[in-house]
Structure 1
Amino acid sequence: MAVTSTSFALEHNLSCLQRCTKEVELKQIHARMLKSGLMQDPYAMTKFLSFCISSSRFSSYALNVFDGFDRPDTFLWNLMIRGFSCSDEPEMSLLLYNRMLSSSSPHNAYTFPFLLKACSNLSAFQETTQIHAQVTKLGYGNDVYAVNSLINSYTVTGNFELAHCLFDRISEPDLVSWNSVIKGYAKAGKMDVALTLFRKMPEKKNVISWTTMISGYVQAGMNKEALQLFHEMQNSDVEPDNVTLANALSACAQLGALEQGKWIHSYLDKAKFKIDSVLACVLIDMYAKCGDMEEALGVFKSVKKRSVQVWTALISGYACHGHGREAISRFMEMQKVGIKPNAITFTAVLTACSYTGLVEEGKSLFYTMERDYNLKPTIEHYGCMVDLLGRAGLLDEAKRFIQKMPMEPNAVIWGSLLKACHIHKNIELGEEVGEILIEMDPSHGGRYVHMANIHAMGKKWDKAAETRRLMKEQGVAKVPGCSTICLEGTTHEFLAGDRSHAEIEKIRAKWKIVRRKLEDNGYVPELEDTVLDLADDEEREAIVHQHSEKLAITYGLMKTKPGTSIRIMKNLRVCKDCHRVTKLISKIYKRDIVMRDRTRFHHFSDGKCTCGDYW
């Protein structure tokens, strides 16, 4: 009977803990547990202290309770160190360990992994080395859990040589050892080393092994490699988890691989994965970046509990598609249902205003950030405003806005203004901004190209040539234009002027046919955005006909049935000539063409583009 009563009391108090939101309620629960003797029960005490530490508002209460113990044993010290290592205050774990040393309390094998987790969360290299010394001194140098934690902590702090040295000393590294050292190299973007270790793993790789590599490739921008490894994982009989699938969807988003993204979405449904906030965000992002806002909206509507991140993903999708009014409408709607926008939401909605020329709306939103939402604008928000004003041709206002910024403008902000000067042909201001940018960001090829083009617009040929010469002297190369098209699960990549594709001769022959039809419909090449210091117009025209998006669209015309939509991804801003050509092709061949360039989407249909020639 007593056991039943105690069990009931324990369940009741633990249930109350989960609903506890105020310190006065916590004190009442604590008092009941003291009165009933539950605080003498290790399980009940563990649950109580763990709950307190897990909530930042109750962490000091946990310390007060702990300080009330006369001589806490190793279990209690470890409990507190572990709890704080996973909390918002991991530094408390290190402070508690200092107290543990001062009180001469004994250690055990569980003490150090918790401490090193705290060091990892703090990226604390010095503290890691000190704990490493303690691990060796107290005889835990061969304990696999302590060594694995050391490897992880050293990799997090960027000390790969130490991590690898420790790994090499393990006579029989386990799966955690392999995963820890691979994770370190992957996080640092050293994917060649990570892949070599991954291939050397002697035992069966688990989901963490595969996900670490896939995530590393995505973070390094190697999205094709990420999807290749994801497909290899599927053939390895290892089931992906939420994190694996989120990373694979991110890779699809960056590549514009809509069909592969749809397959993963279908897999989520069939395997009955719970679409949490993270998966909902990456699904919305994937569909938006692959040009399918209808599916993105469908995912959004299917989410029952929509977090601010889910709302922001949808608003960001509308922004990159140039649907400014819709983005603002969703921004207002989210607040009506009680969701407060955060700083990233404002970046999304300001970007939407910029891409659609909603100047007054953008200004109004920017100035309400601090006043109405208690959000201090960051340099990203100032950048959105400079872009908004610059795209709209308000160049002097954009310059004054930069001069009044409370922080130093960075290269991105000056770059937005330089791009606007190029678009709106403001030579004087463009030259002024270009000089600032080249001094600030001398290794960025685009700065020199814009500057040379602005000089050429003013017919200052000597200055244009001098800028090109300076670019060569600095060893700076212009980023080549690159376009991709996904067909039947395979991504085909084209560089400007590239001849490496297996079917390039057929593509060039097809382009000649397309070009004749374009000329029959009044097409004359736009050479303004082409390299301006080439010898003559004929040479510049030859260059413009080899732009990567033209090759990709031509390949799409070759390989898809009449009437099928063509989807293209471009790494740079689409030039005027390619934009005009794509509009004409959509009309001549009766094709919808969806193109994502570096900043936004263009939907071409029947000779028109959704951007309204404003990009």
Structure 2
Amino acid sequence: MKSVMRKIKVLGPVLNLRCSYSSSDQTLLVNEFTRFCYQRNIPRALKAMDSLQSHGIWADCETYSELIKCCLSQRAVHEGNLVCRHLYFNGHQPMMFLVNVLMNMYVKFNLLNDAHHLFDKMPERNVVSWTTMISAYSKCKIHNKALELLVLMLREGVRPNVYTYSSVLRSCNGMSDVRMIHCGIIKEGLESDVFVRSALIDVFAKLGEPEDALSVFDEMVTGDGIVWNSIIGGFAQNNKSDEALKLFKRMKIAGFTAEQATLTSVLRACTGLALLELGMQVHVHIFKYDQDLILNNALVDMYCKSGSLEDARRVFSQMKERDVISWSTMISGLAQNGYSEEALKLFESMKSSGTKPNYITIVGVLFACSHAGLLEDGWYHFRSMKKLYGIDPRREHYGCMIDLLGKAGKLDDAVKLLHEMECEPDAVTWRTLLGACRVQGNMVLAEYAAKKVIELDPEDAGTYTLLSNIYANSQKWDSVEEIRTRMRDIGIKKEPGCSWIEVGKQIHAFIIGDKSHPQIVEVNKKLNQLIHRLIGIGYVPETNFVLHDLEGEQMEDSLRHHSEKLALAFGLLTLPIGKVIRIRKNLRICGDCHVFFKLASKLENRSIVIRDPIRYHHFQDGKCSCGDYW
């Protein structure tokens, strides 16, 4: 009561308003207003506020703060504006605490200009005022403004706190900004704060400097779950999956429990390496978050990209909640694994569920059409995406259609569509056309497409290799040698074929011509035995896939040691009978290996899954999921 009366006595003279109410009446008005505020009854609180204003009476800061929070929680923008006008009525200047609360309200309402207007009017600002605006601009990705405010804050002599630095670090566009802010953090003695360290790790990872992030992490005396998540996520998002998984193991040894965000990052790392066994172990940790949408989406993605469609289907079917990411992930996964018809049926189910497709969904749909040769379906979905879903075609959509047309032998239509693109074709688009030229044996168009790719990406070894392959298939060995000479002259090296296979929680790598694997003698022996048995049932090496000017047995010997064949032999040696053999390859599987694996799957009565950069091949009983359309 005394506090209320003190406020009235102070504010009355300032506003020069004459109050006809007695002290007890004024107290009743304030108490009524306070009661409505804490009851979260905005209409009655505003009515009481009008009565206060008409008699020159103000309540205390805490009550106004409660009313502002109430407006914020109920998204009452208009009512929040009324409170703001009341507090500035007749030239009154609210206390700094209340202005900060008002600014926060406007920020949460996404009314950044209104928040900044209040900020500019403040006669004095504290660290909360500055941090509120810096954080707001950072979250809205107006990064230059956030950095500019930090500089002004320092000039005014206000010392940033951990929240200021945590916020502004998100706005760093380059390492120079990070270095400058990092120095300030050290100067203020805040480098040990968990939020600051986490933000530093995040920004280093975002800028592609995970090693710097690890240096910050390793300087910690004690760990923290938030920081562990940041460092693991940083390596995972920079495609350094091995390091991310090693850090996850360190985290478990240190006794920290993995939360949803950490598990999502670990699943991403497993996905990048196609580590099904480890991914399944992570799945065990996820059971307590059974219906977490983000984790379930990551699980579906991991299983799809590890070639385990049965597990992906099971997780997807058990999800009680699905969003557009869930549907798109499953559709794309089915398409990439060669189950195009199922992918298109799932797309129809998605539409029936009321979920609106996004541009990624349509990429998956067109991918399904492309990998199954469904030309009419592809054209329908491509032409209707804008009309039905309001989605403008992007490069990825054009790329799928160019691939589909090229594989169907309609290279003229593919070129026509490429030139009609609403966006400028990039190197990937031209490379897609180049791949189609290889399938159709169109050397003239291939040379044109290769020239375009090299103009856009002069150091792309894959394009030189692909063009060399086209020449080799036509026995144009002089042209092959010319390409290789050119590559040597400009210092471009062809990426050697490499295949990986997971056995006993370990990854084993095989490179063509490499004899460093400790069991390479047994592997070669097993491979030779397998080839001999396959020849007995009709296997004939397709030597047109050898990219050297060799003859007879030399060509067959070159095919014999392709990395995926070595990985297969190792899998047959080490994995239990009946277990699916899963191989990941850095280059696209060649035609000879494709035939080889079909026959091997039948001869060994074994399911074999190969993941190359383009798609997945599921070999079983002498057939491939791609239907030989790849």
- TM-score normalised according to structure 2 size: 0.86
Give the whole-Å Cα distance in 2 for the aligned partners of 1:212 and 1:86: 25
Is 1:428 the counterpart of 2:444 in the alignment?
Answer: yes
SS of the aligned residue for 2:262 comes to: helix
**1:414 partnered with 2:430:** yes
Paired residue secondary structure (1:171):
coil
Amino acid paired to 1:497: G
Deviations along 1:541-600, one digit per CA (max 9) or x if unpaired, are 433222221121111111112222211112221111211111122122221111111122
Contact 2:399 2:429 in 1 (8 A): yes
Contact persistence 1:155–1:184 (CA under 8 A): no
Unaligned runs of 5+ in 2: 1-27, 53-58
Between 521-530 and 570-579, the greater mean CA deviation after superposition: 521-530
State the one-letter code of the partner of 1:328: L
| 2:49 is the alignment partner of 1:34 | no
**Contact conserved, 1:431 with 1:454, CA < 8 A, in 2?**
no
Question: 1:347–1:380: 8 Å Cα contact kept in structure 2?
Answer: yes
Matched, 1:375 2:387: no
- Shift in Å at residue 537 of structure 1? 5.1
Q: Secondary structure at the match of 1:384?
A: helix
Say whether residues 1:44 and 2:66 are aligned partners.
yes
Partner in structure 2 of residue 257 of structure 1: 275
Instruction: Give me the whole-angstrom Cα distance separating, in 2, the residues matched to 1:306 and 1:189.
Output: 32
Contact 2:580 2:607 in 1 (8 A): yes
SS in 2 for 1:110: helix
In structure 2, the CA distance between the partners of 1:530 and 1:66, relative to structure 1 (3 Å rule), is farther
1:549 aligned onto 2:568: no
Q: Residues 236-251 of structure 1: matches in 2 within 5 Å?
A: 236-251=254-269
Partner Cα distance (1:78, 1:156) in 2: 30
Letter in 1 for 2:95: D
Q: Residues 475, 300 of structure 1: CA spacing in aligned structure 2 closer, same or farther, 3 A cutoff?
A: same
Q: Does 1:592 align with 2:604?
A: no
2:215 aligns with 196
Alignment match, 2:16 = none
Residues 426 and 11 (structure 1 numbering): CA distance in 2 closer, same or farther, change over 3 Å? farther
Alignment CA distance shift 1:570-1:4 (3 Å): farther
Q: Which residue of 2 aligns with 1:384?
A: 400
- Whether the 8 Å CA contact 1:120–1:156 is kept in 2: the answer is no
Shift of 1:99: 4.5
Give secondary structure in 2 for the equivalent of 1:117. helix
- When structure 1 is superposed on structure 2, of 34-43 and 495-504 the one drifting more is 34-43
Deviations 1:448-472 (A, max 9, x none): 1112222344444433322222222
My pick for the range that moved more, 150-159 or 228-237, is: 150-159
Whole-Å separation in 2 of the counterparts to 1:87 and 1:588: 66
SS of 1:554's partner is helix
CA contact (8 A) 1:565 1:592 kept: yes
User: Larger Rg: 1 or 2?
Assistant: 2
Matched, 1:578 2:600: no
What are the within-5 Å matches in structure 2 for residues 1-80 of structure 1? Answer: 13=40, 30-37=42-49, 41-51=63-73, 62=80, 66-67=84-85, 69-70=87-88, 71-80=93-102
Question: Structure 1's 172 and 342: CA in aligned 2 closer, same or farther, altered over 3 A?
Answer: closer
CA–CA distance in 2 between the matches of 1:499 and 1:32? 83
Alignment-mate amino acid for residue 183 of structure 1: D
1:165 corresponds to which of 180, 183, 191 = 183
Q: Which of 199, 210, 226 lines up with 2:228 in the alignment?
A: 210
Q: What is the DSSP-based 3-state SS (H/G/I as helix, E as strand, rest coil) of the residue aligned with 1:484?
A: strand
**Alpha-carbon distance change, 436 to 146 in structure 1, aligned in 2, over 3 angstroms:** closer
Q: Secondary structure at the residue paired with 2:584?
A: strand
Alpha-carbon distance between aligned partners in 1 of 2:131 and 2:540, rounded to the nearest angstrom = 69
> Is the contact between residue 33 and residue 49 of structure 2 (CA under 8 Å) also seen in structure 1?
no
Q: 1:340 aligns with which of 332, 340, 356?
A: 356
Map of 2:525 onto structure 1? 509
CA distance in 2, matches of 1:375, 1:584: 43
* Mean CA deviation greater in 602-611 or 488-497: 488-497
In structure 2, the partner of 1:18 is none
1:36-185 aligned within 5 A: 36-37=48-49, 41-51=63-73, 62=80, 66-67=84-85, 69-70=87-88, 71-83=93-105, 92=112, 96-97=115-116, 99-101=118-120, 103-141=121-159, 143-154=161-172, 159-171=177-189, 173=191, 174-185=193-204
Q: Percent identity?
A: 35
Q: Secondary structure at the match of 2:125?
A: coil
CA contact (8 A) 1:123 1:157 kept: no
In structure 1, how many angstroms separate the alpha carbons of the residues matched to 2:291 and 2:174? 30
Distance (Å, rounded) in 1 between the aligned partners of 2:497 and 2:102: 55
Segment drifting more, 334-343 vs 518-527? 518-527
Match of residue 22 from structure 1: none
Q: In structure 2, how many angstroms separate the alpha carbons of the residues matched to 1:62 and 1:502?
A: 72
1:559 paired with 2:574, answer yes
In 1, Cα distance between equivalents of 2:174 and 2:78? 28
Whole-angstrom distance in 2 between the partners of 1:109 and 1:207: 27
Give secondary structure in 2 for the equivalent of 1:494. strand
1:311-369 CA-to-partner distances (Å, cap 9, x unmatched) read 11111111111111111111111211211111111111111111111111111111111
Q: Answer whether contact 1:155 1:163 (CA < 8 A) is retained.
A: no
Does the CA-based 8 Å contact 1:418-1:433 persist in structure 2?
yes
TM-score (norm 1): 0.88
SS in 1 for 2:514: coil
The letter of the residue matching 2:70 is F
Q: C-alpha distance in 2, partners of 1:543/1:47?
A: 73
How far apart, in 2, do the equivalents of 1:364 and 1:142 lie?
57
Instruction: Measure, in 1, the Cα distance between the counterparts of 2:599 and 2:380.
Output: 38
Residue 289 of structure 2 is aligned to residue 232 of structure 1: no
- In the aligned structure 1, how far is the partner of 2:613 from the partner of 2:309? 18
What 5-or-longer segments of structure 1 have no aligned partner? 14-28
Would you say the 8 A contact 2:339–2:625 is kept in 1? no
| Aligned counterpart for 2:306 among listed residues 290, 307, 317 | 290
